[in-house]
Homo-oligomer: A and B are copies of this chain.
Amino acid sequence: MDAMSAPIEAVLQALADPVRLKMVRQLAERDGEISCSGFDVAVTKSTLTHHLRTLREAGVIQGRQQGTTRFNSLRRNDLDLAFPGLLDAILAAPAVDHQPSGQPHAISG
């Protein structure tokens, strides 16, 4: 993939989903690759595939095929270059333990 080409809105949209944010947190903690079956998220395989594609299209992750396995990694350097401080600010936010349905908590306003 070329250098970061996604607008900030696409990156925010990709990271706004609780399941996708959890996957990105896991990639950041691993600081390496995670195969498609290696994510600790309670979603079906097809949903996981959808989430991975969304993250990839937004330029947040990249994939590497090795045999029959696809390995995913965070494009941290590209993100930091395109949107300095953004990923660090998001990863520093407290992780909310969501239900498998992936709905964020209700907000009192």
Contact = CB atoms under 8 A, between A and B. Distances in A.
B88 A85 contact: yes
Given A1-B109, A59-B109, A109-B57, A90 B10 contact: no
29 contacts: A2-B108, A5-B107, A7-B93, A7-B94, A8-B90, A8-B93, A8-B94, A8-B96, A9-B16, A9-B17, A9-B96, A10-B16, A12-B12, A12-B21, A12-B90, A16-B16, A56-B109, A57-B109, A59-B107, A83-B90, A83-B92, A84-B89, A84-B92, A85-B85, A85-B88, A86-B86, A86-B89, A86-B90, A89-B89
Nearest to A109: B57
A37 interface: no
